[in-house]
Structure formats: C-alpha cells, structure tokens
Amino acid sequence: MDTRIGIIGTGSMGRMLIRSFLRGGAAVPQQLCASNRTPEAQNAIAAETGIQTADNNRTLVKDAGVIILCVRQPDVVPAMEEIKDLLTDDKLLISIASDVPLSELEALTSARVVRVIPSVTSEQLKGVSLIVFSERTTKADRERVISLFGAIGTPAIISEQDIESYTTLTSCAPAFFAEMIHEFAVSASRMTGIPADEAEALSRETFIGTAALLEIPGTACTDIVSRVATPGGITEEGVNVLTCRFPAVCDEIFAATGRKHATFRNASSENTNTEGN
C-alpha cells in the first residue's frame, strides 16, 4: 500500500492537518507532500515541518496513494477537473468540503472517495472528525482513514444524509463555544464593571477547567451542573435562565446553519452541472 499522502491546498485547514498528522504520529514528513496555487504558502509549511512540495497538483497526485483535497468549496470541481485523469481506481481521495456530496465527487473520478469533516480542535489532537465512506472504498481504505484521523482526534463514521447537522455539532461548534465565552465575558464587564480583559481571561480559564472535568470518564454535563448549582442557590438562578432561553438560541443555530448548507449545496450542484456541460 502506497503510504504517501498528498495534500492539495495549504490554507488554514490544510496546514492544520499537516501539523496534526505529524504531531499525532499519523505520518512522518517524508510521507507528506503539499501543493498550493500560491507557492509561498506551500513552501512556508514545508520549511516549518519538513514535508515535501510538488510543483503542481498533477505532480502531487501522480506520486501519492492518498490525496486529501483541502480547497474551498467553489474550487473543488475546478481542482478535480485538473487532475481527474490521474485519479484512477488505485487512488484514495479524501475531500473535506462540507457540501460536495459523494455522488458529485464520484462523477468526476474513478478513485475511491471518502468525505471527512475535520475540526480545528484536531490541532490539539482533540475533537471529532466526521467520516463518510463511499461504497467504492475497501476495508483497507476504511482502516487507513480511521487510523489517520484517529491519530488527531475521535473519528465518527456517519451516513451522508446526517453530515450537515453533525457538522454544526462538531466542526462548527468551536466557533460557537468561543463566541459564547466571549459574550459571557463581555456581559460580565458590562453588568458588573469587571475589566473586559480580566473577565475574558477568567472565563477562558474556567471553560478550560470545565472541559477537563468533562474528560473524566463517566462525567456528564448534568453531573457538573448538579455539583455547582445547589437547589435554591445562586448558580441555580443562572441555570434557570439558560434552560428557559438558551434552547431557542441553539435551535436557531441549527436552523441558520441548515439554511446556509442548502445554499452551498445548491451552488455546488449548479457548478457540477455547468462543468459537465
């Protein structure tokens, strides 16, 4: 089995995956090769990590057994068109585009195809990578992908029909959690006069500590709530506000992201049909 991994696109997610694969022991620098439209970007990550670079996407695909497509969604079809004759059935293609389905990818290649939605938390070897396997993939393919992404977090194998809601729950969630912490700190400053920088620093440390508690096996979110919010106490008053108002906010998050997924999905389908014509 060809152990070389080619990464097309060295934007933020491409760079994160390269660093994480190396840090998590999923690969060594000699196994990784990157290409990018901007040579400076690929050369920078190569200088930082010691990986190889390719002059262009076609050279990269020729020399790799696994190709990870880390380009923006509008660039998926153009990138595939450039290399589709090289993506033969002995290649494994992994796409991280959140709204380009397997059917559209498979229409452009005879390679075995996998969709993976990683999370920025993989930078710390934490969090979840969502994985959708196509029927073309082999047992060896599945084991390899699970091993690769299992080294940088928790792999979760899901059905493609669930990918949008699961993406909101995992890949999008770090931004939501960070924004919640920020707004909580801003409110503390606004309502109590605590200096803004101090409020955010204290909120961050408390959030990190809470996450550490949740890592203890068998600990549920409700366990922490019950430990801190004693009946009739001060914390319970705040929890009551959350249980009353926060569910509607969460519902709207899933509704809003669902609408945006639909917009991107329709745009991707239109692009594929245009390229096909």
Domains defined for the chain, CATH in brackets:
5-166 (3.40.50.720), 173-264 (1.10.3730.10)
Q: Smallest Cα–Cα separation from 94: which of 107, 77, 79, 111? A: 111
Binding site annotation covers 122?
no
Q: Is 11 annotated as a binding residue?
A: yes
Q: How far apart are CA 49 and CA 51, in angstroms?
A: 6
**Are the CB atoms for 53 and 26 separated by under 8 Å?**
no
Question: Residue 275: which pLDDT band, with cuts at 50, 70 and 90?
Answer: low
Task: Determine the Cα–Cα distance for residues 103 and 132; give it in Å rounded to an integer.
Answer: 12
pLDDT, average across residues 214-220: 97
Residue 2 pLDDT > 80? no
Annotated ligand binding at 10? The verdict is: yes
Q: How confident is the model at residue 277 (pLDDT cuts 50, 70, 90)?
A: very low
Beta strands in 179-268 (DSSP E): none
**Distances 62 to 54, 92, 96, 195, 228 between C-alpha atoms, Å:** 10, 12, 20, 56, 57
- The pLDDT score that the predictor gives to residue 41 is 92
Grade residue 3 by pLDDT with cuts at 50, 70 and 90. Answer: confident
> Does pTM surpass 0.85?
yes
For 155, how many CA atoms within 13 A lie in the half-sphere containing its CB?
A: 18
On whether 9 is known to bind a ligand per the annotation, the reply is yes
Q: Is 8 annotated as a binding residue?
A: yes
26-70 pLDDT, tens digit per residue, is: 999 999 999 999 899 999 999 999 999 999 999 999 999 999 999
Q: Is the pLDDT of residue 85 over 90?
A: yes
- Report whether pLDDT(1) > 60: no
pLDDT at position 195 is: 97
Structural element, H or E, at residue 34: strand 32-35
Does 57 carry a binding-site annotation?
yes
